[in-house]
Every structure is written in structure tokens, then in C-alpha cells.
Amino acid sequence: AAAFGAEIYISDALKGIRVLPSPHVSVGISLAGGLLELELSCEEMPLSELAEILSRYDRKRKYFRLKDGSFVDLSDTGVRSLSELGRSLRLNEKELAEGSLQLPGYRALYLDDSLEESSFVNLSRGKSFRALVRSMKTVEDSDYEVPPELAGILRGYQKTGFRWIKTLQANGFGGILADDMGLGKTLQAIAFLLSDWKEKERKREDGREAAARKEAERHYLVVCPASLVYNWKSELERFAPSLPVSLAAGSQAEREETLRGLEGRSGVLVTSYDLLRRDIDLYEKLTFAVQIIDEAQFIKNHSTQAARAVKAVRADFRLALTGTPVENRLSELWSIFDYLMPGYLFSYTRFREEFESPIVNREDEGAAERLQKMIRPFVLRRLKQDVLADLPDKIEKNMYAAMEGEQRQLYDAHVQRLVMLLSGQSEKEFQTAKIQILAELTKLRQLCCDPGLLLEGYEGESAKTQLCLELIQNAAEGGHKVLLFSQFTTMLERLKAALKKEGIRFYSLDGSTPKARRVQLVDAFNRDETQVFCISLKAGGTGLNLTGADIVIHFDPWWNVAVQNQATDRAHRIGQKKVVTVYRLIARDTIEEKIVQLQEKKSRLAEQILGGEEMGPAALSKEALMEILEGTAKNDGA
């Protein structure tokens, strides 16, 4: 100070000020009966003073003044960690001062993650607590065995997903399987259901006590969009044929009969969000071992009846499947967690005050970091590029849509009309009337797609259109780009109108598009943010390089398979850096489904039948067509 020509005087009062270092705090955590027991202690000061510091901590202040006039250094991260933990968990000053408190078991990982950051916090973990944390952090090394039937089918990352779900269930947690679109969330969930059911079946066989037999009667509930109900049934029958499955679908009387039939048996029940909402009273006395909600963004608005119905169902374990857990607002994430583990993200009012508003309005990084830390253990999210080594370069999947109401009735009527026409013909007459037969088959195809293609003024629903729009919405929200193919230009016009109504950007190309314009559209789609490219199959089957897309939807996979594959190769070609997922939309219980089965079993015959221009006298017999039509019409029109 003398070098600057000044002297500094310090008063006796200032000299007497004591600055205490950050207190060392000991935290003991144990787990018992699903509850966490916390014990706090501090040697440097009474817990009442520590509680006061923690409850009034301000990150911007370097010191805190105690009642005796001394100051505590707040620069250490230990005080900050404890304070933020107390604020996040809403621990009040009285609870902290008492030094002993209880918390729900689902806070275990957040506590462990938050407290281990500081050297000033001496953390003592009980045996059960350590086991829980270790199990959640070492999922890949867990001992859960994939069912033998699926061991050769599940890929490495899918086996990890299966073990993650099993670990959540074992620890009494819920979770969101948020894998990217096309990575097999349904298959991972089915592997989990099959594993759990087989374990309980063994208990049924081995257990002699009534409790063991009762526990073995496992009911599993899957709730999904109406367009996916039959797809779930198909996937369950394909990958877990031994696992009983039933549908709470159809008329109200049929649904009531299905629910009454659950008593005394185990298996999977599949229903839609809308039907669950209508039938919620029928579920009051039921308890499910597992409840899975697919496309969980359907409950993103927590005030809807669908969201309330899903949360009203009693279930021991809850799982959510969605590729887009947050579409537009953080409140959507809160609603899903409110289903999984009510109270984990607190009330919505508090969530909005402490997380949503600070993060969205003020870009509060601290709030965002706390929220991420809280949800991280319970959300499993893998992108295609994350697991590329485990994936084929092209994933193909059939998606089934169930026609109902007027669409089903119209289809059934036309099938019966064609069967009557064929029944009255000889084989020679059949070959002579080939053009007429092809015209009738085209009408059936149109009815499977959308009756509006055939009947002017039709304003009813189209099951495939609904399924297609849901796929596109999920893809767009997940940052994917889609090629949408149809052989009917009129169908593309209807789909484009639906996309426009939903606010989804698209380009369009058909046979009338000039060559120069085709090049412009392709270049623009590969570069810009447009989400969908609608293409007629004949116009876009060759000559286009659309590697900007990584999802292909064939709305009506019907004719020559080679043509369909050529269209897929617009995206799946040299220059494509992403995994391409291909969806074929198929109307269930129709001639479309029969043809797909024929493709799989008799590919050579299928190519002859499906190649419209190749249908000569030797390509298709009357008996073969009657066999294809058999069983595709439902007499009740349901």
C-alpha cells in the first residue's frame, strides 16, 4: 500500500470478524420399505444454523452472516449442492434442522448424483441403497436373461433396453423408453412382457400356496392409439406366440365380455386411449402387473380425459414408449412422469414455477441441469446414429390398420360381390374376364386405402390414412424426413390435403411433373427443412436421389415388389448416412394382408400375381384368387 502513497487502517471491529470455512456435512442414506432415510450431521455448527444457511443460500453471495456476527465462506460446492438439493426436493428449514427425514425411493439416484459431487459432503450409503444405485448404473451387466425365443432376434442395444426395463421394475420405478423411431421399442417391450409372464408361469407351476397362484395370474395392459391396436396384436403373436393376448376393442358389449374374461387367466390386454377413456369404470376393480402406454405423447395434455383415464388404472409397474417425449412444451414431460411416478416431478404448479418457466422464459441453465439430472435415470433415449453398428442399413416393418364402420362394410360388400362373380364362372370364363377381374381388384385396393377414391362424396374415416398421419407426425417431430409413396395419384391428393391441414410441409411429384422441376424439388428436399415428399410410385420409382430422407412409407404396397424396392432405394442408396426405416401400411383382414402373406410364403407366385401387367393365363387361376379372397370379409361389418 505504501508504494501507492496510501496507508490502510483496519478497525478493531473489522479485525474481529471471523470467516469460517464451509462446514463439512455428513449425510447418511439408507433404504427400507421403498423409503429413503436421511440423517444429517455437522461438527462445525448446530444443524439449526446449517439449515438456515441452506434455506437462504444465494449462488451470487460469497459469504453468509451468522447470528453471532461471523461469516461462513460459501465458495465451496458442498453448500451449493446441499442447498440446491434441498430446494429441488422442497426440504424446509425445520426438516433440515431436525436432521432426520424420509423421502420416496425414486429420489435415490438424484440424491446420490447430487451429493457425491462435493468433497465437503461425507456421504455414507446403506447396503440396500448402494445395491439400488449400482443396479441402475450397471444395467448392461445385469443378470436378466432375454427369453430364449428372442435371444437371436434382439440386437445388442435392444437387449440393453430389455434389461433396463427389468431393472426399473425390480427397483419399483417407472420409465420412458424414448428410442428413436424405428429402433424397435415395441419389440423391447414385448421381450419384457414375455420374460415377466414366463417367470410368473413358473411360479404358478411350482407354487402350492394360494398367494403364489394368485401372484402368477398376471394381467398386462397395453394402451395405444386406435390405429396401432391390431399392430400390437400382430407383433405379440409374431414374437411371443405363447403369451396370451386379447383385445378390448369392438362394441361395448364385446369389450365388457373381454374384461370379464380376465379373471383366472393371465396375458396381455390391448386397448386404445379412446376406448380406455370410455370404459374406465370397467377397470376400477382390476389391477395390472404392468401397464404400457405406446405413443405416450397422446397424454401430453394432462387435463384431457385420455390422460386422466391412463393414470386412473391401477398397475404395479408403468412404462411409457415414445420417440418424442417432449414435442412442444415441458408440461408434456411432466404429464408422462405424472403417469409413471406421480409426484416425482411434483405438482404441475410447482413444476411450472421451478422448471418450465425458468427454462423456457429465462433460459435458466441451472434449472435445466437439475431437471435433466432428475429425469436422466428414468429415460432411455438412443438415436439411430448412436447404435448404428448394431443396426442393418435398412429396417422394414409392416404396419397394420384395422378398418371399421362404413369403410369395413363397403369393403365386405365388394368382396362378396367379387366372390359371387367368380363363383358363377368357369376357369375359361375367368381367364377371358381378366380385365374385369383386375378392375374389381383395383376397387378392393381403393377401399383398403380410402373409400373416397371409389365413392364420390365419401366422408367417413380411412384407417390407413389415420395410421399414416400418425407415423408422419411422429417422424417430423423426431427430426426425420419422409418419402411417402402411393400408386394412386388421387390418394396422394387426399393425403396432401390432410398434411396441409396438420401444418406439415411437403413437396409433391407425379407423372405430370416436368423433368426440370423434378430436379429442383429433389435438390430442395435434400437441403431444406421440408418434412415430407409425396411421390407417385410410377413417377418416382427410379432416377431420384433422395438421401435427405431416412423414412419411407409405402401407403399401398401392392403390386410388383421389385418396383416397391426401387422406390425405397430413392432414399436407401449411396450417399445415405442414416439408417433407413421402411413402413408398409397394410389394411388388416383384407386382400392386402393375404397378398403380403403370399409374398412371404410364395414369393415367385406373388410376383406373378402382383405384377399387374404380367397377369397372363398362367399367372393367376380362379382357385388362387378365391383362396386369396377367402376370409377377408367380416359378415358383421365390424
Contact indicator for 104, 89 with CB cutoff of 8 Å: no
What is the Cα–Cα distance from 220 to 318, expressed in whole angstroms? Answer: 10
**Dihedral sign (CA 606, 610, 613, 617):** positive
Closest CA to 67 of 52, 83, 47: 52
- Inter-residue contact 367 to 321 (CB < 8 Å): no
pLDDT digits (tens, 9 = 90+) for 126-151: 899 889 889 888 888 888 999 999 99
Q: What is the DSSP string of 445-480?
A: HHHHH-GGGTSTT--S--HHHHHHHHHHHHHHHTT-
Tell me the pLDDT of the chain averaged across its residues.
Answer: 82
Q: What is the pLDDT of residue 236?
A: 95
If one counts every other C-beta atom within 10 angstroms of the C-beta of residue 180, the result is 21
Separation between Cα atoms, residue 415 and residue 40, nearest integer Å: 75
Q: Residue 363 — pLDDT band, cuts 50, 70, 90?
A: confident
Please report the pLDDT score of residue 117 as a whole number: 65
Is the Cα dihedral 191, 196, 201, 206 positive or negative? positive
C-alpha angle 240-245-249 in degrees, rounded to nearest 5: 140
pLDDT tens-digit series, residues 364-378: 888 888 888 889 999
Mean pLDDT of 349-358: 90
What residues does 315 pair with on adjacent strands?
A: 288
154-158, 161-165, 594-598: range with lowest mean pLDDT: 594-598
Mean pLDDT of 298-322: 94
Q: What is the mean pLDDT of residues 588-604?
A: 73
Query: How many Å apart are CA 197 and CA 267, to the nearest integer?
Result: 7
User: In terms of pLDDT, which residue wins out, 405 or 101?
Assistant: 405
Residue carrying C-alpha cell 409433391: 508
C-alpha span between 536 and 538 (Å, rounded): 6
State residue 351's pLDDT score.
92
Of 283, 134, 227, which Cα lies nearest the Cα of 465? 227
- 597 band by pLDDT with thresholds 50, 70 and 90: confident
Q: What is the pLDDT of residues 212-244, one digit of tens each?
A: 445 546 799 999 988 888 889 989 999 999 999
Average pLDDT over residues 510-524: 85
Q: For residue 207, what pLDDT band results from cuts at 50, 70 and 90?
A: low
The confidence score (pLDDT) of residue 224 equals 93
pLDDT in tens, 378-402: 999 988 777 766 656 788 889 999 9
Non-local (6+) Cβ contacts of 250 within 8 A are 638
Q: Is the pTM of this model over 0.85?
A: no
| CA nearest neighbour of 135 among 147, 144, 124, 125 | 144
Is the predicted pLDDT of residue 279 greater than 50, yes or no?
A: yes
d(CA 172, CA 315): 11
Q: What is the mean pLDDT of residues 272-285?
A: 95
How many angstroms separate the Cα of 496 from the Cα of each of 410, 472, 581?
A: 24, 12, 21
Q: Is 155 helix (H, G, I), strand (E, B) or coil?
A: coil
The Cα 129–Cα 131 span in angstroms is 5
Question: How confident is residue 343, by pLDDT bands cut at 50, 70 and 90?
Answer: very high
Of the candidates 154, 159, 153, 155, the residue with the CA atom closest to the CA atom of residue 140: 159
Our CA dihedral for 192, 195, 198, 200, rounded to 10 degrees, sits at -70
How confident is the model over 263-288, as a mean pLDDT? 92
pLDDT tier for residue 610 given thresholds of 50, 70 and 90: very low
Burial class of residue 365 (count of CB atoms within 10 Å of its CB; 0-12, 13-18, 19+): exposed
For the beta carbon of residue 602, count every other beta carbon within 10 angstroms.
13
pLDDT tens, position by position, 59-118: 556 666 666 667 776 666 556 666 666 766 767 667 777 777 888 889 888 888 877 766
Average pLDDT over residues 21-30: 79
Q: What is the pLDDT of residue 541?
A: 60
pLDDT the model gives residue 47: 77
Digit-coded pLDDT (tens) for 56-75? 665 556 666 666 667 776 66
Q: What is the pLDDT of residue 612?
A: 37
